[in-house]
Amino acid sequence: MFGAFFISLNMNSFKIPGTNLPLKTIYCIGRNYSEHAKELNNEVPNSPIVFLKPQSSICFDGDKIKIPKQSKDVHHEVELVVAISKDGKNIPEEDAKHYIHSIGIGIDFTARDIQQQAKEKGHPWSIAKGFDTFAPISSFVSVNKIQDLHNLDLKLLVNNTSQQFGNTSQMIFNIEYLISFLSSIFHLQEGDLIFTGTPKGVSSIQKGDKIKAILGENLATLSVSVT
Ligand code: ZN
């Protein structure tokens, strides 16, 4: 009871690390790298696949990832994460860059067994994607410090072994397109996050694993361990 009180207090005051932005909605894009779509035998989409994660799934650098008792197959998905700078609706693609506040690296943890069942039944992915600690994020870096958003390496190491490697140039739908697309449906708000999809190399995590995600040449890093 006491713990729950503090947890809810904390959730209301989440700031995106490295910024003064209060965390709002967490949007995620599925299958935004064709090599990843292929490794899971999925079709490459012709418009973005969108899902949301709850704020309670957010955690931070140094935190512990909990494998939920409901899953035997939790996968890591390393992703570029964009923080939105201001409110907007129906944002044209050519204006979208003005809505990017900062970027970080995050991991979209996914209970693949639960997701697979949901896919087969045509059910939503909210449970597979939404467990506590399933959305760790790094500290964010101002977009002004980034030379080229469309040429950033994403790396993920498990126990110091390289497991995922990709580059934002491989996205099917680029960041500006995603902002424009999302804002045609949702009223975007200052402090929203967009997880922009994962490159190939996803795999199962195990208790005791040490996971490190790196954006560019150490622009942002995120280290978590699995319990
Ligand atoms: Zn993902």
| Residue-wise pLDDT tens digits, 43-58 | 888 999 999 999 999 9
Q: 213: CA distance to ligand 1 center in Å?
A: 14
27 pLDDT more than 70: yes
- C-alpha to C-alpha distance for 82 and 94, rounded to whole angstroms: 17
Cα-to-centroid distance, 49 and ligand 1 (Å): 10
Fold of the domain built from segment(s) 4-226: Fumarylacetoacetate hydrolase; domain 2 (3.90.850)
Q: How far apart are CA 196 and CA 116, in angstroms?
A: 21
pLDDT of residue 3: 44
pLDDT at 211: 98
* pLDDT at site 104: 98
Residue 57 contacts residue 135 (beta carbons within 8 Å) = yes
Question: How confident is the model at residue 43, as a pLDDT?
Answer: 84
DSSP 72: S
Domain spans, the chain: 4-226
Angle at 224 between CA 8 and CA 123, to 5 degrees: 65
pLDDT tier, 9 (very low <50, low <70, confident <90, very high otherwise): very low
Cα–ligand 1 centroid distance for 142 (angstroms): 23
Residues 6 or more apart from 118 whose CB is under 8 A from it? 124, 125, 127, 128
State the distance from the centre of ligand 1 to the C-alpha of 79, rounded, in angstroms: 7
CB of 138 within 8 A of CB of 104?
Answer: yes
Distance (Å) from CA 151 to ligand 1 centroid: 19
178-226: pLDDT as tens digits: 999 999 999 999 999 999 999 999 999 999 999 999 999 999 999 999 9
pLDDT band at 114 (very low <50, low <70, confident <90, very high): very high
Q: How far is the CA of 52 from the centre of ligand 1 (A)?
A: 10
- Predicted structure pTM score: 0.93
Those residues with Cβ within 8 angstroms of residue 181's Cβ, 6 or more apart along the chain or in another chain: 47, 48, 173
Mean pLDDT check: name the lowest of 3-7, 55-59, 162-166, 220-224: 3-7
pLDDT at 41: 85
Question: CA-CA distance, 161 to 167, in Å (whole number)?
Answer: 18
Question: Cα(175) to centroid of ligand 1, in Å?
Answer: 15
For the chain, what is the radius of gyration of the CA atoms?
A: 16
Is the Cβ–Cβ distance between 101 and 19 less than 8 Å?
A: yes
Distance of CA 1 from the midpoint of ligand 1 (Å): 33
pLDDT computed for residue 6 by the predictor: 47
Q: Is 118 exposed, middle or buried (0-12, 13-18, 19+ CB in 10 A)?
A: middle
Structure tokens, 217: 């040449």
Q: How many Å lie between the centroid of ligand 1 and the Cα of residue 2? A: 33
Residue 165 pLDDT > 70, yes or no? yes
Q: How far is the CA of 110 from the centre of ligand 1 (A)?
A: 8
Do 198 and 164 meet the contact criterion of CB atoms below 8 Å apart? yes
